[in-house]
């Protein structure tokens, strides 16, 4: 479960509706559509709901309902990483202690999930070919991008 202890970090959201950060609101699933779909609503549990720009409630965090499923699936329609790493001016990204704690909680959760995967590269040389450190992020045009730095992968 993403939020096994209901008091943290969801209580942070209750304190301040800006805690969960800046949400890219291009495509989202309204809560009433989620609940009306028997396949979605029996496979996934909606953990958080957020308002869009018009105030309509959409599903912002989901996880699979564990009914003998082998692999957990999690999804967020928000950017937990932005609170600690995006410092552009003229944005609504909060950098409060609470919002950074939510970001860190999500990072720790994701990392702990990844640690359960026992797959590995066959050799160190093979692993080194795929490291992100082989690429240099580029500073983006802040007027046209939602991110301060971008990676470009050329063939």
Confidence (pLDDT) at 67: 67
Q: Is 79 a catalytic residue?
A: yes
Out of 11, 79, 95, 146, pick the active-site residue: 79
Question: What separation in angstroms does the CA of 90 have from each of 3, 27, 87, 143, 145?
Answer: 31, 23, 9, 10, 13
Report the CATH number of the 10-123 domain.
3.40.50.880
Domain spans of the chain, in order of start: 10-123
Across the range 5-29, mean pLDDT stands at: 51
d(CA 13, CA 94) in angstroms, rounded, equals: 12
pLDDT-derived band of residue 29, with 50, 70 and 90 as boundaries? confident
pLDDT for 107-123, tens place per residue? 999 999 899 889 999 99
Confidence (pLDDT) at 2: 65
Tokens of 149: 């730095």
Residue-wise DSSP of 85-109: H---SS------HHHHHHHHHHHHH
The pTM of this model reads: 0.73
Residue % of the chain over a pLDDT of 70? 80
Confidence (pLDDT) at 72: 83
Confidence (pLDDT) at 82: 87
Confidence (pLDDT) at 131: 96
pLDDT for 31-67, tens place per residue? 999 999 999 998 899 998 888 778 888 898 899 887 6
């Amino acid at each position: 479960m993403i939020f096994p202890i209901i008091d943290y970090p969801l209580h942070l959201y209750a304190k301040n509706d800006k805690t969960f950060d800046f949400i890219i609101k291009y495509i989202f699933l309204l809560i009433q559509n989620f609940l009306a779909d028997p396949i979605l609503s029996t496979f996934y549990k909606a953990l958080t709901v957020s308002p869009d720009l018009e105030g309509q409630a959409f599903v912002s965090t989901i996880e699979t309902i564990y009914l003998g499923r082998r692999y957990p699936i999690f999804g967020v329609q928000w950017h937990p990483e932005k609170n600690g790493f995006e410092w552009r001016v003229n944005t609504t990204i909060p950098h409060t202690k609470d919002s950074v704690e939510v970001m860190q909680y999500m990072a720790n959760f994701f990392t702990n999930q990844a640690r359960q995967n026992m797959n590995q590269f066959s050799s160190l040389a093979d692993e080194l070919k795929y490291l992100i450190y082989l690429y240099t992020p580029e500073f983006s045009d802040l007027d046209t991008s939602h991110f301060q730095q971008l990676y470009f992968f050329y063939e």
